[in-house]
């Protein structure tokens, strides 16, 4: 199965209907903002761009540069490596909660999509100062 077919097949499984529409909207937003095509990652995540990392512990790997997961309860938006430096952007985003590298949104209509785009770009710029980011 091609990467595009895998992403399309995954998006078709997203429920409920409102979450499916939001996932399709986020996919377009991420593609427009990054210029990259999505890839399906384990755990039901769509990633845009990749980077190879090496931690101080010596652990290495490859992960997506930014992306999202359309969970039933909330949308999870991933900005790597985290949100520590983005308070000035998050203050204008709208209703959300944050984790270490994850932004939780109940409904897409709760946030300002232009601010979300700024946050995605800022996250990618920050990530690129740590590890080279490759397009997908």
For residue 80, give both structure tokens: 């790597």
Residue 111's pLDDT is 97
Which CATH number is 7's domain given? 3.90.1150.200
Helix %, strand %, coil % of the chain (to 5): 40, 30, 35
What is the pLDDT averaged over residues 22-45? Answer: 96
Containing structural domain, residue 125: 3-134
How many structural domains does the chain have? 1
What is the pLDDT averaged over residues 23-47? Answer: 96
Crossing angle for the helix pair 3-12 and 17-34, to the nearest 10 degrees: 150
For residue 39, give both structure tokens: 């890839």
Residue 39's pLDDT is 96
Instruction: Report whether pLDDT(67) > 70.
Output: yes
Structure pTM?
0.93
Confidence of residue 112 (pLDDT cuts 50, 70, 90): very high
**CB contact at 8 A, 55 and 73:** no
CB neighbours (10 Å) of residue 34? 21
Give the long-range contacts of residues 131-134, CB within 8 A, separation 24 or more: 131/51, 131/52, 131/53, 132/51, 132/52, 133/49, 133/50, 133/51, 133/65, 134/49, 134/50, 134/51, 134/65
Instruction: Report whether pLDDT(84) > 70.
Output: no
Confidence of residue 83 (pLDDT cuts 50, 70, 90): low
Instruction: Report the alpha-carbon distance of residue 95 to residue 109 in Å, rounded.
Output: 9
């Amino acid at each position: 199965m091609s990467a595009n077919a895998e992403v399309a097949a995954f998006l078709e499984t997203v429920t409920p209907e409102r979450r499916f529409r939001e996932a399709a909207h986020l996919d377009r937003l991420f593609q427009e903002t990054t210029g990259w095509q999505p890839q399906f990652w384990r755990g039901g995540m769509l990633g845009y761009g990749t980077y190879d990392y090496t931690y101080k512990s010596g652990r290495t790997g490859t992960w997506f540069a930014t992306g999202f997961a359309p969970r039933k309860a909330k949308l999870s938006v991933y900005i790597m490596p985290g949100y520590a430096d983005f308070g000035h952007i998050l203050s204008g985003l709208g209703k959300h909660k944050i984790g270490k590298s994850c932004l939780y949104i109940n409904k897409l209509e709760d946030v300002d999509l232009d601010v979300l785009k700024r946050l995605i770009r800022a996250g990618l710029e920050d990530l690129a100062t740590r590890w080279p980011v490759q397009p997908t």
